[in-house]
Structure 1
Amino acid sequence: MPHPTPFNYIQRKRALKHASKPTAVAKITSRPYINPQIASPLFSTLPAEIRNHIFYHALLAYPDPARPYSRHSFWYRPGYTHARAIAVALLLTCRRAYLETDLLPVVHNEHVIWGVEKPRIPPGSTNYLLHDRHMKLSQRNAVHFVHLFTQQFWLEDWKNQWLAFTTSWPEGGPEKIRITIRHTDWWYNLLGENSPLALDPKRKGRARVGEWVPDDQPYESGSWGSRFMHLHGLKKLEMELETIELKRTELDTIVEKARSWKFPLGDGNMLVMDEGSTEKSVWTGSKHFKGLNAPNVALGLQLRQGSTSSFSPFKATPRGDTESEELGLGDTLDYYVVLLTWHAQTKTEYDDVSTAFDVMPTSLSTTSATTNTAVAPPRTTPPRATYNRLNAVPTYYG
Structure 2
Amino acid sequence: MAEEASLLTAPSANLQSNINLQEQCPLFTILPAEIRSLIYTYALTDYEDITHDGQSYDRNTYWYRPGYKARRRTATELLRSCKRVFQETWFMPFALAEHSFYLMHQDRAPPRRVTLERMRQYLATLRDFARIQDGKDIPQIHSIRVFAQLWALEDPRRLQEVLNLEGFRPRNVTITIRYTDFWFWERNAPLHIDARWVNTVIFPESVSTIKMDFEMVDRRKKEIDFITDLAVEKWVFRRADGIIFRANKEDTVTSGWTGSSTWAKARWIRDESRPNEIDFYVKTVTWKPTFDGDNPFAGSYKCPNLDIPSDFVQEPVLWLQGMASVPIDWLASAGVPNEASAEEVAQAVGRRPIRARGQHRPIRRRPRPETDE
TM class by smaller structure: 0.5 to 0.7
Q: Distance in 2 between matches of 1:37 and 1:351?
A: 53
Q: In the alignment, is residue 53 of structure 1 matched against residue 27 of structure 2?
A: no
Name 1:375's counterpart in structure 2.
Answer: none
Question: 278, 286, 289: which is aligned to 1:341?
Answer: 286
Name 1:318's counterpart in structure 2.
Answer: none
Letter matched to residue 99 of structure 2 = H
Q: Aligned residue pairs: how many?
A: 272
Q: How does 1:40-79 map to 2 (within 5 A)?
A: 40-66=25-51, 67-79=55-67
Contact 1:36 1:96 in 2 (8 A): yes
Contact 1:157 1:224 in 2 (8 A): no
Q: In the alignment, is residue 198 of structure 1 matched against residue 189 of structure 2?
A: no
Contact 1:111 1:146 in 2 (8 A): yes
Name 1:187's counterpart in structure 2.
Answer: 183
| CA deviation after TM superposition for structure 1 residue 105, in Å | 1.9
Name 1:232's counterpart in structure 2.
Answer: 205
Q: In the alignment, is residue 269 of structure 1 matched against residue 243 of structure 2?
A: yes
Q: Distance in 2 between matches of 1:193 and 1:355?
A: 38
| CA deviation after TM superposition for structure 1 residue 344, in Å | 0.7
SS across alignment from 1:238:
strand
Letter matched to residue 244 of structure 2 = M
Q: Over residues 290-318 of structure 1, what are the superposed CA-to-partner deviations in whole Å (9 max), with x where a residue is unaligned?
A: x4569xxxxxxxxxxxxxxxxxxxxxxxx
Alpha carbons of 1:57 and 1:132: their partners in 2 closer, same or farther (altered >3 Å)?
A: farther
SS across alignment from 1:251:
helix
Name 1:250's counterpart in structure 2.
Answer: 223
| CA deviation after TM superposition for structure 1 residue 352, in Å | 4.3
Q: Distance in 2 between matches of 1:271 and 1:357?
A: 15
Letter matched to residue 174 of structure 1 = P
SS across alignment from 1:283:
strand
| CA deviation after TM superposition for structure 1 residue 100, in Å | 0.6
SS across alignment from 1:65:
coil
Q: In the alignment, is residue 150 of structure 1 matched against residue 113 of structure 2?
A: no
SS across alignment from 1:162:
helix
Name 1:122's counterpart in structure 2.
Answer: 110
Alpha carbons of 1:197 and 1:127: their partners in 2 closer, same or farther (altered >3 Å)?
A: farther
SS across alignment from 1:130:
helix
Q: Distance in 2 between matches of 1:351 and 1:118?
A: 38
| CA deviation after TM superposition for structure 1 residue 142, in Å | 1.6
Q: How does 1:167-182 map to 2 (within 5 A)?
A: 167-170=164-167, 173-182=169-178
Alpha carbons of 1:42 and 1:352: their partners in 2 closer, same or farther (altered >3 Å)?
A: closer
SS across alignment from 2:101:
strand
Name 2:162's counterpart in structure 1.
Answer: 165
Q: Over residues 21-56 of structure 1, what are the superposed CA-to-partner deviations in whole Å (9 max), with x where a residue is unaligned?
A: xxxxxxxx7994233233544334544333332222
Question: 97, 107, 118: which is aligned to 2:95?
Answer: 107
Percent of pairs with identical residues: 29
Q: In the alignment, is residue 330 of structure 1 matched against residue 275 of structure 2?
A: yes
Q: Distance in 2 between matches of 1:356 and 1:108?
A: 39
Contact 2:47 2:73 in 1 (8 A): yes
Alpha carbons of 1:39 and 1:245: their partners in 2 closer, same or farther (altered >3 Å)?
A: closer
Q: In the alignment, is residue 33 of structure 1 matched against residue 18 of structure 2?
A: yes
Question: Whose RCO is larger (CA < 8 A, sep 6+)?
Answer: 1
Gaps of 5+ in 2: 1-13, 131-136, 304-373
Letter matched to residue 62 of structure 2 = F
Q: Distance in 1 between matches of 2:150 and 2:230?
A: 17
Q: Over residues 346-396 of structure 1, what are the superposed CA-to-partner deviations in whole Å (9 max), with x where a residue is unaligned?
A: 243x5746337789xxxxxxxxxxxxxxxxxxxxxxxxxxxxxxxxxxxxx
Q: Over residues 60-106 of structure 1, what are the superposed CA-to-partner deviations in whole Å (9 max), with x where a residue is unaligned?
A: 22332323332212222233333322111211233322111012222
Alpha carbons of 1:334 and 1:328: their partners in 2 closer, same or farther (altered >3 Å)?
A: closer
Report the RMSD for the aligned CA atoms in angstroms.
3.1
| CA deviation after TM superposition for structure 1 residue 177, in Å | 0.5
Contact 1:240 1:339 in 2 (8 A): yes
Contact 1:141 1:169 in 2 (8 A): no
User: Who wins on radius of gyration, i.e. which is larger?
Assistant: 2
Q: Distance in 2 between matches of 1:237 and 1:230?
A: 9
Letter matched to residue 100 of structure 2 = V
Greater shift in the superposed pair: 99-108 or 122-131:
122-131
SS across alignment from 1:268:
coil
Alpha carbons of 1:337 and 1:356: their partners in 2 closer, same or farther (altered >3 Å)?
A: farther
Alpha carbons of 1:37 and 1:129: their partners in 2 closer, same or farther (altered >3 Å)?
A: same
Q: How does 1:271-310 map to 2 (within 5 A)?
A: 271-289=245-263, 291-292=264-265
Alpha carbons of 1:354 and 1:122: their partners in 2 closer, same or farther (altered >3 Å)?
A: same
Gaps of 5+ in 1: 1-28, 204-222, 295-326, 360-398
SS across alignment from 1:134:
helix
Q: TM-score, normalised by structure 2?
A: 0.64
Contact 1:152 1:181 in 2 (8 A): yes
Q: Distance in 2 between matches of 1:163 and 1:257?
A: 23
Q: Distance in 2 between matches of 1:60 and 1:92?
A: 16
Q: Over residues 187-225 of structure 1, what are the superposed CA-to-partner deviations in whole Å (9 max), with x where a residue is unaligned?
A: 214xx5543221132x3xxxxxxxxxxxxxxxxxxx344
